[in-house]
Structure 1
Amino acid sequence: MNDTPGWASPGSAPSDGQQPDPSGAAEPTDRPVPAQPADQPGQAGQAPQGPGPQWSKDQPPPAQWSAPSGPTVPGQAPPPPPAGPGWGTQPPGGHGPAGHGPAGPGGYGPPGPYGGWGSGWGGPPPAAKPGIIPLRPLGVGEILDGAVSTMRTYWRTVLGISLTVAVLTEIIVVLFQGLVLDDSSTQALNDPSATLSELSRAMSDALLNSTVVFVISLVGTVIATALLTTVTSRAVLGKPVTIGEAWRDARPQILKLFGLICLLLLITAGIVTAGTLPGILITASGSTGPGVALTVLGVIGAGVVALWLMIRFSLASPALMLEKQGIKKAMSRSTKLVQGTWWRIFGIQLLATIIANVVASIIVIPFTFLAAALSGDGITGWLNSGSSGLGWTFLMVSGIGAVIGSMITFPITAGVTVLLYIDQRIRREALDLELARAAGVQGYGPNAPGTTPGS
């Protein structure tokens, strides 16, 4: 199998000692002609190779002897051999040797003295593209374009899933913030005269509320990711899928996906806690300076380790959904696929996240300021009070902006992750052959016409 699956290189030249094929491939001019014994008569249509008793003694010098293709002039170099179909050429109206395609601009190179490989190869044929991506290793732009193409081609399904999940999630968040969230308990955070107990209570309430909102958003993200993974995998094959079909395919794995994401979050929290706990304990014992320095170093070190692990396990989600694996097996598959390409996957994931968040911020920020302007205190009062005193008008208007932003971020982040997973499997496991067969591509793979076995 080649390092670049999805196409096969042309066949190699015949090995030494083999006869040329019946199509009359020309031999290189620098190949020596084996001498025949002097006492062996020449074959019909060929000149004798040495003097014999039946020939005249006046023979040309051996260095000037050539095949009897015409009159020879002593002292003149032999003419070049006649052009014939070689490795890179083809007789007019015919076909080259089996497995070697046509010559010229559309073939493996222009005709040369030997018509061959050394005269230039036009490159591999284009990869099949039944869906949103070509079936070969992908570049960064192709991965990002594939995620966007999924949104553009199957916009009804993609936006339907994103809109439904985002609306349901945001309704729960708005109701929680409007009915359950106690603004009075968090107002102490903006009060310079608040006591230590009031600040501690306010911080605890704010942390609890943020955790609840985060869990609600996490559930919505898990559902959207599961459904969009199915849509993207079908889009690679060029096959549309409805929301109902995506739900039926993803439903058995949703709980496992939620468990996987929760496990990754617990691992991250454990690493951060282990990195910051020594510094916090030293600070609490009274050594403020060393404790703060150790805490900062612990946060930096824990962040690096957590980031390394998160990228290492970043392909576990599509592995779990598409391979129907368990949590442990999906994490092991992600580790295997990411091995050796950590920086590439990190860069693509980071770029996709930045693009998605920038686009979402362009939409969310204007809605946030509009919500603040329509609320009772106006933009100035909202900036001074922060998150305190949020009214229903502010929550609903800003929620609309959050829904629109989620409709953009969900498909991009999920699509890039799935395409990264497919790209890594194409590079390592020749998944493009399986995808081509699933898409019904004819003549694709090692047995396709014009390929040589073992290439």
Structure 2
Amino acid sequence: MNDTPGWTSPGSAPSDGQDGSGVPRPSAPADANGSAPQWSKDQPPAGQWSPPTDRTPQPAGPGPNWGAPRPDVHWGKPPAAKPGVIPLRPLGMGEILDGAAKTLRIYWRTVLAITVTVAVISQTVDILAQRYLVPAPPEISADATPAEELQQSLDAAQSSLIGLAPSLLVTLMASTVSAALLTVVISRAILGRPVALGSAWQEARPRLLQLVGLTLLLAVMGAAVVTVGILPGLLVGGAPGVALVLLGGLGSLAAAVWLMVRFSLASPALMLERQGVTQSLKRSAKLVQGSWWRIFGIILLTQLLIFLFAMIIAIPFTIVGIAVDGEGFSGLLSGSATRFGWPFLIVTGIGGVITSAVTYPISAGVTVLLYVDQRIRREALDLELARAAGLPGYGPTAADRTVGG
């Protein structure tokens, strides 16, 4: 008996009072002898039914076209065009990460020329700042009270931040220049067009000052939001002040993250659409609207992967640096006023160059591809990119007014 009324699979035995279709047989009037008419003896036996179609014997087992798609021109969707490192359609998170990594792998000469140069400059400045600008940690006496130890630690942290300020500024500028050049390279990689280092520099140079201003504006904006959040707690002081600092710090940190994600696409908008700083911020806010959580998740996952990769590289180089500069490490453990020497700084600096050379293009690639993905979803940029790439079937090649020029 079937669960579905009115349907029985071909070849199944009829149930009592039913034919092969599963529908009850109609009752027939009795004949002259008073007996109900019997079904013909020519009825096929149960389980031997076959549909009245072609009776040509079929070969056993799957045929040569077994599993082939239906031969219909309208069956399914045609594959998206892919002139470069990504398909020209809305992208998934894995495709964005893969596109960034593929750009590094295919155009490694240009990409590494940019990132290694920038990383060497920033790491050199960082090593010099740590050696000559950052003061040695203060000696903590054995009879110091907990309050004195805390105050000395705060003073040491403040001195370190002041000493590292030039290094942080140079690193910020270096990463900005790297992002500008890599944006040009990645925009060409989307179209399948390689670009030399000189061409990328000529393309990015006119907008470098604007990009630096945008980067500094975002940094100041985030710092101002956090400062406003913790300032009331600092003014109150005491136990209530500590509670206000914690609450205000968490709230302001959440607000700063929201702003950074909202304006995360301003950099590629400035570089690729040739807009000003204010227009780029508005453009990013418009593209991110309605997709904040998706963009936040992709950025968070990317930064987590970059952090894990940085730790994988940094830990072995740190161990080697300690091994070759054991005197400085033992002095720090004993609490004496000393610092790491040149061997440790050089070894860890080499690890930093390797890390930056790989993570810079991944971070920049994800940002640019997120920008392209949002424009494909909202503005059908894929059609313009296909025309710019010269693909057949998309009309005449557009003038250099799309991503990649």
TM-score range for the pair, normalised by the shorter chain length: 0.7 to 0.9
CA displacement, residues 395-421 of structure 1 (integer Å, 9 cap, x when unaligned)? 111000000000111010000000000
- 3-state SS of paired residue (2:80): coil
Match of 1:305 in 2: 255
Query: Which TM-score applies when normalising by structure 1?
Result: 0.68
The one of 158, 172, 180 equivalent to 1:226 is: 180
Q: 1:398 to 1:251 in 2, by over 3 A?
A: same
Query: How far apart are residue 212 of structure 1 and its match?
Result: 2.4
Contact 1:189 1:199 in 2 (8 A): no
1:139-193 Cα distance to aligned partner (Å, 9 max, x none): 111000000000010011111111010001111111222233321xx32579873
Structure 2 equivalent of residue 408 of structure 1:
358
**Residue number among 290, 294, 297 corresponding to 1:347 in the alignment:** 297
Aligned to 1:155: 108
2:313 aligns with 363
Whether the 8 Å contact between 1:361 and 1:405 is mirrored in structure 2 is: no
- In 1, Cα distance between the equivalents of 2:143 and 2:73? 79
Q: Secondary structure at the match of 2:138?
A: helix
AA in 1 matched with 2:367: T
Q: Distance in 1 between matches of 2:185 and 2:305?
A: 21
SS of the aligned residue for 1:130 comes to coil
Alignment check: 8 A CA contact 2:139 2:336 kept: no
**Equivalent AA in structure 2 for residue 239 of structure 1:** R
Q: Which residue of 2 aligns with 1:262?
A: 216
Q: Verify: 1:323 aligned to 2:289, yes or no.
A: no
Task: Using the TM superposition, give the Cα deviation of residue 209 of structure 1 relative to its aligned residue in structure 2, in angstroms.
Answer: 1.8
Higher alpha-carbon deviation: 171-180 or 399-408: 171-180
Shift in CA distance, 197/357, structure 1 to aligned 2, threshold 3 Å: closer
Equivalent residue in structure 2 for 1:241, among 189, 195, 207: 195
Contact kept in structure 1, 2:139 and 2:335, CA below 8 Å: no
The answer on whether the counterparts of 2:83 and 2:191 sit within 8 Å (CA) in structure 1 is yes
Contact 2:135-2:160 at 8 Å conserved across structures: no
Distance apart, 1:215 and its partner CA? 1.2
TM-score, with structure 2 as normaliser: 0.76
Contact 1:222 1:258 in 2 (8 A): yes
Structure 2: which amino acid aligns with 1:156?
A: R
**Per-residue CA distance 1:276-310 (angstroms, 9 max, x = gap):** 01011111xxxx22111111000010011000000
Contact 1:188 1:202 survives alignment (8 Å): no
Shift of 1:256: 0.9
Partner of 1:207: 161
Whether 2:226 is the aligned partner of 1:276: answer: no
1:392 aligns to 2:342 (yes or no)? yes
Task: Please say if residues 147 and 411 of structure 1, whose CA atoms lie closer than 8 Å, have aligned partners that are also in contact.
Answer: yes
Two-structure CA RMSD over aligned residues (Å): 2.3
How far residue 204 of structure 1 moved from its aligned partner, in angstroms, is 3.0
Instruction: Give the counterpart letter for 1:157 in structure 2.
Output: T
SS at match of 1:215: helix
The one-letter amino acid paired with 1:128 is: A
Cα distance between partner residues in 1 of 2:234 and 2:356: 36
- Return closer, same or farther for 1:212/1:332 CA change in 2, 3 Å cut-off: same
**8 Å contact kept, 1:360–1:408:** no
| Shift, 1:444, TM fit | 2.7
SS of equivalent to 1:330: helix
Does the 8 Å contact 2:226/2:253 carry over to 1?
yes
Match of 1:23 in 2: none
How big is each residue's C-alpha offset from its partner over 1:354-384, in whole Å with a ceiling of 9 and x where there is no partner?
A: 1122112211111011111100427555566
User: Percent of aligned pairs with the same residue?
Assistant: 53
Stretches of structure 1 that go unaligned for 5 or more consecutive residues are 1-102, 109-121, 447-455
**Deviation larger for 289-298 or 337-346:** 289-298
Sort the Cα spacing of 1:418 and 1:191 in 2 relative to 1 into closer, same or farther, 3 A.
Answer: farther
C-alpha distance in 2 between matches for 1:326 and 1:191: 57
Q: Report how many residues are paired.
A: 325
Distance, in Å, in 2 between the alignment partners of 1:350 and 1:387 is 39
Give the whole-Å Cα distance in 2 for the aligned partners of 1:160 and 1:387.
Answer: 40
- The aligned residue for residue 292 of structure 1 is 242
Structure 1 SS opposite 2:84: coil
Indicate how the Cα distance of structure 1 residues 386 and 236 shifts in structure 2: closer, same or farther if over 3 A, else same: farther
Deviation above 4 Å: which 4+ runs of structure 1? 188-192, 194-201, 378-388
